[in-house]
Amino acid sequence: MPEIKISPDKLADALKADDEFVKKAQYDACFAAALRLEAHLKQLSDELKITASGVWKNSNKAERTEDGAVCYNDSPHAGIVEEGCRPHWMPKDVIEGPLTDWVRRKLEVPADEAQSVAYAIAHKIAEEGMQGRFPYALSLFTARDFYHEELTRLLA
């Protein structure tokens, strides 16, 4: 009668090789998922209308790390886009500079009216703060799905 004997001492080398293959696949899947997440966040910025100048959209980056990968946004206003902010007064030079430019570009307000609109927006922020858009929080499950899909692809 045919038989196959299986014993731990005979399988140890094969299991070690499989373990290394799976670890490398997991590591590679992390980076592949982070690259897909970077593209997803750029698309999500259009859907959430976080597109005033493209700084936030183009500041999403994916990088390999020692233990996998990371996707992050290094724009100066990334924290405010993600979590919003409490009520606060803006400096005059911010209102008359970047905020007025944003009003002209994003809201398509004529130049002679843009500064008044910028001051109105600044006043509202001073009273109410700003709501967060939470693009990274909204993408947590998407990141997990990307990882599982990439791991499955690499292990196939």
What percentage of the chain carries pLDDT values higher than 90? 74
User: What is the average pLDDT across 12-27?
Assistant: 82
Instruction: Concatenate the DSSP letters of all residues of 61-117 into one string.
Output: EEEEETTEEEEEE--TTHHHHHHEE---PPPHHHIIIIIHHHHHHHS---HHHHHHH
Q: What predicted TM-score, i.e. pTM, was given to this entire model?
A: 0.79
**pLDDT value for 57:** 94
Please, what is the Cα angle at 99 between 61 and 139, to 5 degrees? 30
Express each pLDDT in 80-106 by its tens digit. Answer: 999 999 999 999 999 999 899 989 988
Express each pLDDT in 98-147 by its tens digit. Answer: 899 989 988 899 989 999 999 999 999 999 999 999 999 999 999 999 99
